[in-house]
Amino acid sequence: MPSSVLVAYGTTNGSTAQIAEAVAEVLRKAGLTVDVLPAQSVASVASYEGVVVGGGVYAGRWQKHARRFVRRHSRALAGRPLWMFSSGPLDPSASERNIPPVPGVKRAMVRLDAWEHATFGGCLDEEAKGFVARKIVSSGKGGDFRDFTEIEAWATRIGSELAGVSRGSGTMRASSTPRPPSCR
């Protein structure tokens, strides 16, 4: 198995960080060594054999630290197994159908030859930062739409794919974590 996997995330209100932690926990249970770090704190990805990077989606764009992480580490990311995830829909749509990545993430996936992308529901509660976020919550459109069973299944698939790569099977590709009590 790969010696080390990085799960990096860009988050504004903490929801995407909780998804990243859930992914990491599943990978650890699969026997992998995993570091979970805010995207802006990652100095290098050189020591990682696999990388998962996620970002919250705000107004059709990935969270700024996730975008910057991908740009800053693009050369190193292009040479290793890479998965991406987005969080954000504040409705059950992410659990009902496959939601494609936003255009900027799609371009990065193509450029970096990412293995897969998943979109998970978001979470926005009354303690959310920012004027727009507070307006969304006060209008009754907030809530927790993350599906941790779906997140766990996706992370399990990543663990299996990493195990396959480490056994020398080439570049195979794919086309229970408790639910946190709140968005924070």
Q: Which amino acid is at 154?
A: W
**What's the total number of domains in the chain?**
1
Would residue 103 count as lying in a domain?
yes
pLDDT for residue 110: 96
CATH of the domain at 42: 3.40.50.360
pLDDT for residue 164: 73
Would residue 176 count as lying in a domain?
no
Q: Which of 88-97, 105-114, 119-128 has the highest mean pLDDT?
A: 105-114
Would residue 178 count as lying in a domain?
no
pLDDT for residue 1: 45
Strands 5-10 and 116-120 turn out to be unpaired
> CB-based contacts of 170: which residues, under 8 Å, 6+ apart?
none
Q: Of 102-111, 118-127, 162-171, 174-183, which range is least confident?
A: 174-183
pLDDT tens digits for range 116-171: 999 999 888 767 777 676 777 677 777 889 999 999 999 999 999 987 765 444 44
Mean pLDDT across 102-117? 96
Q: DSSP for 49-104?
A: SEEEEEEEEETTEE-HHHHHHHHHTHHHHTTS-EEEEEE--SSTHHHHSPPPPPHH
| Domain span including residue 143 | 5-166
Q: Compare 1 and 36 and report the one with higher pLDDT.
A: 36
Q: What is the share, in percent, of the chain residues with pLDDT greater than 70?
A: 84
pLDDT tens digits for range 23-45: 999 999 999 999 999 999 999 99
Would residue 17 count as lying in a domain?
yes
